[in-house]
Amino acid sequence: NAGVTQTPKFQVLKTGQSMTLQCAQDMNHEYMSWYRQDPGMGLRLIHYSVGAGITDQGEVPNGYNVSRSTTEDFPLRLLSAAPSQTSVYFCASSPGGQWTLHFGNGTRLTVT
Amino acid sequence: SQQGEEDPQALSIQEGENATMNCSYKTSINNLQWYRQNSGRGLVHLILIRSNEREKHSGRLRVTLDTSKKSSSLLITASRAADTASYFCATDALLENNDMRFGAGTRLTVKP
């Protein structure tokens, strides 16, 4: 049972480049979410999904897009990377209703 | 904005001592959860306490919740070097079930 898998683990982008952070879970969880973690800021919610075909914005959605075509996958797209998006990104999932989140190990992104 | 705020930001104790971390939040909640994060890893769920509960135990962990003061505490008894990690509280606001907010965390160091 792999849980929540994030790829890649590390990524360096130049300003203006685009990329997709992958997140997959094998627990048949309905709820999935993306957070970014910055020093001294805790985790901030970017986008979330309560099921396939449904997504919504969190606290800091600007500059990011998401889609949820399957229950298992919830990719996060950076449309035009900016240095302010340098951060560690975590994907999490939950069965829904219980709100106990299962986290991936994160993607460390640096934008130069 | 962050919902939960942990106090202290950092805590250093000797092995065998107890560690107490506090969390304050701003709005009425459904549940409050505590998570642990080892360096370079994702967060791991420790314990969930519902808004109608006042105290909960899990092994060496004891969590209290005071909804009148909008605060919670996490007590780790008989700490071990392996407890060294960052600890975060997370809340889901009463009227916003899909939005889990995290504090900035307490960095606990347990010296052997």
> How distant is the Cα of B68 from the closest Cα of chain A, in angstroms?
23
Question: Which residue numbers in chain A have pLDDT < 50?
Answer: none
Mean of per-residue pLDDT scores for chain A:
93
| pLDDT recorded at residue A25 | 97
Q: Residues B53, B67: contact at Cβ < 8 Å?
A: no
Contact between chains at A31 and B98 (C-beta distance less than 8 A) = yes
The structure tokens listed for B8 are 């202290």
Find the closest chain B residue to A89 by CA distance. Answer: B42
Mean of pLDDT values over B103-109: 93
Residues 28-67 of A with CB under 8 A from B: 31, 33, 35, 40-45, 48, 50, 56, 58-59
Residue range B15-60, pLDDT digits in tens: 999 999 999 998 888 889 999 999 889 999 999 999 999 999 999 9
The structure tokens listed for A88 are 């560690």
| pLDDT recorded at residue B95 | 57
Contacts with A41 from chain B: Cβ below 8 Å: 2, 104
Mean of per-residue pLDDT scores for chain B:
90
Determine contact: B39 vs chain A, CB below 8 A. Answer: no
Determine contact: B50 vs chain A, CB below 8 A. Answer: no
Find where tokens 């986008």 sit: A47
d(CA A88, CA B106): 18
CA neighbor of A87 nearest in space, from A96, A76, A98, A74: A76
Determine contact: A13 vs chain B, CB below 8 A. Answer: no
CA atoms within 13 A on the CB side of B50: 4
Determine contact: B45 vs chain A, CB below 8 A. Answer: yes
Contact between chains at A106 and B41 (C-beta distance less than 8 A) = yes
Size of interface A-B (CB pairs under 8 A): 62
Contact between chains at B42 and A90 (C-beta distance less than 8 A) = yes
Determine contact: B44 vs chain A, CB below 8 A. Answer: yes
Residue among A50, A101, A102, A108 with most chain B CBs within 10 A, to mutate: A101
| pLDDT recorded at residue B1 | 45
DSSP string, B25-90: ESS-EEEEEEEEE-TTS-EEEEEEEETT--EEEETTEEEEEETTTTEEEEEE-S--GGG-EEEEEE
